[in-house]
Amino acid sequence: MSDFLPLRLMGDLRRRYAEPQRHYHTWVHIEALLGLFHETRGRLHDPAAVEAAIYYRDAVYDPRQDDNEVRSAALLMREGAEALPPDSLDFARRLIEATAGHRLPPDLSETQRADAALFLDMDLSILAAPGPIFAAYEAAIRREYAFVEEKAYRAGRRKVLEGFLRRDRLYFSEHFAARFERPARDNLVCSLELLT
Query: What's the pLDDT tens digit per position in 156-184?
Result: 999 999 999 999 999 999 999 999 999 99
Query: What's the pLDDT tens digit per position in 133-149?
Result: 999 999 999 999 999 99
Share of the chain above pLDDT 90, in %: 90
Lowest mean pLDDT among 1-15, 16-30, 154-168, 178-192: 1-15
Q: Where are the domains of the chain?
A: 1-123, 126-196
Give the burial string for 13-46 (b: 16+ CB within 10 Å, else e).
beebbeeeebbbbbeebbebbbebbeebeeebeb
DSSP 59: S
Cβ atoms of 53 and 96 within 8 Å: the answer is: yes
What pLDDT sits at residue 8?
84
Amino acid at 113: R
Residues whose CB falls within 8 Å of the CB of residue 48, separated by 6 or more in sequence, listed in order: 3, 4, 84, 85, 88, 92
What pLDDT sits at residue 132?
95
Q: Pick the closest to residue 80 from 10, 30, 28 (CA basis).
A: 10
Confidence of residue 1 (pLDDT cuts 50, 70, 90): low
Confidence of residue 101 (pLDDT cuts 50, 70, 90): very high
Q: How many CB atoms lie within 10 A of CB 68?
A: 20
